Structure 1
Amino acid sequence: MNRLRVTPGPVLAVPALWLTTRALMLWLLVHDSGPLLGGGSVAREVWRLYFRWYGVLAHGSFPAHDTLWQYPPGAGGVLMAPSLLPWLTYFQAFVVLTLAGDALVTVALVRAGTRAGRSLLGAALWTGGLPLLLHIPLARYDVQVTALAVLSLLALDRSPRAGGVLGALGALVKVWPALVLLGTPRGRVTRGAWGWAAAAGTLVLGVLAVLFDHPLSFLRQQGGRGVQIESLGGTVLNLARQAGWPGRTRYRYGAVELVGPHVQAVAVASLALTAAAFALLVLWRVRARHWNEATPYDAALSAVLLFTVTSRVISPQYMIWLLGLAAVCLTSRHTSQRPVAALVLTATALSTVVFPMYYREVIDGTWTGCLLMLTRNGVLASAAVLSFVRLWRAAGADGKNLRTTEPRPDSHRLPDRVLSIS
């Protein structure tokens, strides 16, 4: 077969773009006191909140009585990692490690994109798309989580075991990376990835439970969360304010939430939609008949999109997850998610306009704030629906594409995982 060669030019353009854009992001982080950059609220989360949690973790306990602590125990490892660079302040070390995680994702995407039959579009999307969030990615630990998810997906093709372990580690840090294993091909790949994920997750969770007190305290805080103002439910309630709904905003559980009549009903509806999304994904898994090298990538993006748009919380840093998964999809020429990636980029840019630029408008429930949220969430919802529809059709779940990756009876030596086409 003909092999496609990647010329040095595009490969060298990626690190050049990365250095330029990350320098700009660092400059914005240093100057984030401006009103359109959040008035210092973006960086404050690291040097005030994360550093406070670091102090608690250093004494051998998770922040059990802090309502802002809503993360799985693996997050403790990320928040303690800056201690590996003792010659820097906690804030400086955190940013350095975040940039290192960002660089690791970029390198992994470049390596995947330069393989035969692959594409560098994924590396370009991640490198050029992340700065659309301005300096937010440098002051949140979602880049590190996304790195684990990206590496898990890219490892599945060659080592399902490694992919499973990385997915489990990501899930222990922020839950959602567990979804990246949804689209593994049936047979040995699924058994290897899911089995090793379960074993690694159990082992690491056990170690954390021995080393720290209250490892599962985050569950109590998660259960008490309401409807964040940036979620789909929050957008509906904010529009209702224009029609006379008497609700108001309140800062709770680390986010601006809406409180008032019928909020609990909206929260329950969000949970019901999440359950429905999970049921659809299980149905896809059961009915899917065709896997190619991009199917695990596409399934991961679709799953995380569905869970994001039905969540009670859609913080701007969630877009980091979607950018990373969309970038992995674009490394394959067989992906069904190219138009979805474009919608994710659009939603990312709109998220920055919402926060930090015009967040006061959103909190106050003005028409400007309502329209911004309606547009951003409308794009996200469209991306989720389009992603699932294209995933469904590409996998032959509608019964029209009957090709399958299962080995033929007379081909006993064929592996039951999909090999890269070159």
Structure 2
Amino acid sequence: MGMSGARGTGFPYLLVGTWSLTRLALLLFVFKVVVFPGPDVTSDVSVIYQGWFEVLRTGTFPLDDVTWQYPPAAALAILSPALLPFLAYTSAFFVLACLADLAAFALLAYAGRRPGRSRRGAWMWVVGVPLLGPTVYARYDVMVTAVAVAAILAGARHPRVMGALVAFGALLKVWPALLMVGVVRRRAWVSAALTAGALALLFAVAMPGAFAFLTFQRDRGTEVESLGSLVFHIARHHGWEGQVLLNYGSVEFLGPYVDLVSTLALMLTGCAIGWLLLWRLCATRFSAHTAADAAFVAVLLFTTTSRVISPQYLVWLVGLAAACLVFRGSRMGLPAGMVLAASFFTVLEFPIWFAHVVGSDGLGITLLVVRNGLLVAASVTGAVLLWRDTASAEAPEGLPGRTARTGETLNS
């Protein structure tokens, strides 16, 4: 990353100013003061989220809607605009999304002032989020990412807080559970297990159908922006007879061999999980930045191999990359840069030129090849760097050859 990592003791005027201007632009887009090119990305809030809101406020989940594919705590995000009753639902949601963005930024900026830390993480967040365009404020993923960032930054000094935040995040959107892959403190694991169990029981008792989302997720196909979709984008030019349709809340390929490609994607995700388990068994050096680096790599692997790569998924990666770069010792600078580039190509493929993606024309395929290629490269690079930093026979320069826990112990 070429951004300044200087600690600095004064007020970060440039950092705060850049955040303010870029977020003002995002708000102008979602409030449609300025029209962003491409399809309207705010319809999910005004139509889908608001429809769920009306059901959830009655005390039950939208069990008849297969597009509800989220764990039970997601209800809190959908219901959150009720906190601002003086605003319309969509307006309140956009404001709360911006506040979640601000919370993540404030945490990253504050953490970057401590010894051994850097403001590179805050800059990563400031630059990366607006690269994704107004989609960031029109989905609840930015709220989940703020929780994940808080969990990573809390991990070094407050393991129990980290565990509780990870559990809450996982019940918001599952993927934050991967943040635990590099955690060695037993207190964090115990806290995560107790919090997850208590929240799951509470939702199961209080609201029927809390875990129906598991069935809906199982039936998903291959989404048109995923890595596997490239097979069908190219096959359409060679006589493949399938279709592109709105299915389970996203635009997916339906037709011959889609089930096969979806199964292969699941197998690839399984291989990624297997590699993470192998890494954890072989890792012998755990430094202050290891948990953040491991979380970033884990979510990168999960995202890249998924049957669905929705544009808002990139905000997860931006947030975790930012949390990594807070630590001066992090090895994730190059993969973080690749994620920034992938974010730029993501806003090009959705929403700006999404019609070309759906049409599988030359521009659409090129955008997906570049974006998904960057994610693959970031995943492989991140995995190699993580292995070399923690599990290789020879420690990187400046690190001891044996286990270094930086104050952490396996049974603390």
TM-based fold match above 0.5: yes
Q: Distance in 1 between matches of 2:7 and 2:77?
A: 38
1:277 equivalent to 2:278? Answer no
- Corresponding position of 1:310: 305
Equivalent runs, 1:47-62 vs 2, <5 Å: 47-62=46-61
1:370 equivalent to 2:372? Answer no
- Corresponding position of 2:374: 379
Task: Indicate if the aligned counterparts of 1:32 and 1:43 stay in contact, CA closer than 8 A.
Answer: no
- Corresponding position of 1:167: 166
Q: Secondary structure at the match of 2:228?
A: helix
Q: Distance in 2 between matches of 1:130 and 1:278?
A: 27
Q: Distance in 1 between matches of 2:155 and 2:272?
A: 24
Deviations 1:262-306 (A, max 9, x none): 111100000000000000000000000111111001000100000
- Corresponding position of 1:7: 9
Following superposition, the deviation at residue 240 of structure 1 comes to 1.4
1:95 partner amino acid: F
Q: Distance in 2 between matches of 1:392 and 1:271?
A: 23
- Quick one: structure 1 residues 33 and 119, their matched pair in 2 at CA, closer, same or farther if it must change by over 3 Å? closer
- Quick one: structure 1 residues 319 and 32, their matched pair in 2 at CA, closer, same or farther if it must change by over 3 Å? farther
Task: Indicate if the aligned counterparts of 1:405 and 1:416 stay in contact, CA closer than 8 A.
Answer: no
- Quick one: structure 1 residues 121 and 257, their matched pair in 2 at CA, closer, same or farther if it must change by over 3 Å? same
Equivalent runs, 1:51-200 vs 2, <5 Å: 51-185=50-184, 189=185, 191-200=186-195
Deviations 1:1-51 (A, max 9, x none): xxx852315x222221111111111111223885x63332x1111011100
Deviations 1:188-244 (A, max 9, x none): x1x111111010011011111222111011111101100001001111211111222
1:416 partner amino acid: T
Following superposition, the deviation at residue 403 of structure 1 comes to 2.1
Following superposition, the deviation at residue 96 of structure 1 comes to 1.2
- Corresponding position of 2:19: 18
Q: Distance in 1 between matches of 2:124 and 2:7?
A: 20
Deviates more, 1:337-346 or 1:82-91: 82-91
Q: Distance in 1 between matches of 2:353 and 2:96?
A: 29
Deviates more, 1:379-388 or 1:202-211: 202-211
Q: Secondary structure at the match of 1:232?
A: coil
Q: Distance in 1 between matches of 2:129 and 2:405?
A: 38
Task: Indicate if the aligned counterparts of 2:105 and 2:122 stay in contact, CA closer than 8 A.
Answer: yes
Point out where structure 2 has 5 or more consecutive residues left out of the alignment.
Answer: 1-5, 396-400
Deviations 1:27-78 (A, max 9, x none): 11223885x63332x1111011100001110111111110110000010011
- Corresponding position of 2:37: 37
Q: Secondary structure at the match of 2:298?
A: helix
Task: Indicate if the aligned counterparts of 1:229 and 1:363 stay in contact, CA closer than 8 A.
Answer: yes
- Corresponding position of 1:416: 409
- Quick one: structure 1 residues 216 and 5, their matched pair in 2 at CA, closer, same or farther if it must change by over 3 Å? closer
Deviations 1:143-169 (A, max 9, x none): 100011100010010111000000000
1:140 partner amino acid: R
- Corresponding position of 1:420: none
- Quick one: structure 1 residues 363 and 32, their matched pair in 2 at CA, closer, same or farther if it must change by over 3 Å? farther
1:238 equivalent to 2:233? Answer yes
1:399 equivalent to 2:393? Answer yes
Q: Distance in 1 between matches of 2:139 and 2:301?
A: 22
Task: Indicate if the aligned counterparts of 2:9 and 2:113 stay in contact, CA closer than 8 A.
Answer: no
1:297 equivalent to 2:292? Answer yes
Q: Secondary structure at the match of 1:135?
A: helix
TM-score, normalised via structure 1 length: 0.92
Q: Secondary structure at the match of 2:246?
A: strand
- Corresponding position of 2:398: none
- Corresponding position of 2:3: none
Q: Secondary structure at the match of 1:258?
A: strand
Q: 1:326 aligns with which of 294, 307, 321?
A: 321
Q: Secondary structure at the match of 1:55?
A: helix
Q: Distance in 1 between matches of 2:45 and 2:341?
A: 27
- Corresponding position of 1:249: 244
Q: Distance in 2 between matches of 1:18 and 1:52?
A: 32
TM-score, normalised via structure 2 length: 0.95
Point out where structure 1 has 5 or more consecutive residues left out of the alignment.
Answer: 408-413, 418-422
- Quick one: structure 1 residues 138 and 406, their matched pair in 2 at CA, closer, same or farther if it must change by over 3 Å? closer
Task: Indicate if the aligned counterparts of 2:227 and 2:304 stay in contact, CA closer than 8 A.
Answer: yes
After TM superposition, the runs of 4+ consecutive aligned structure 1 residues lying more than 3 A away are none
1:331 partner amino acid: V
Deviates more, 1:24-33 or 1:199-208: 24-33
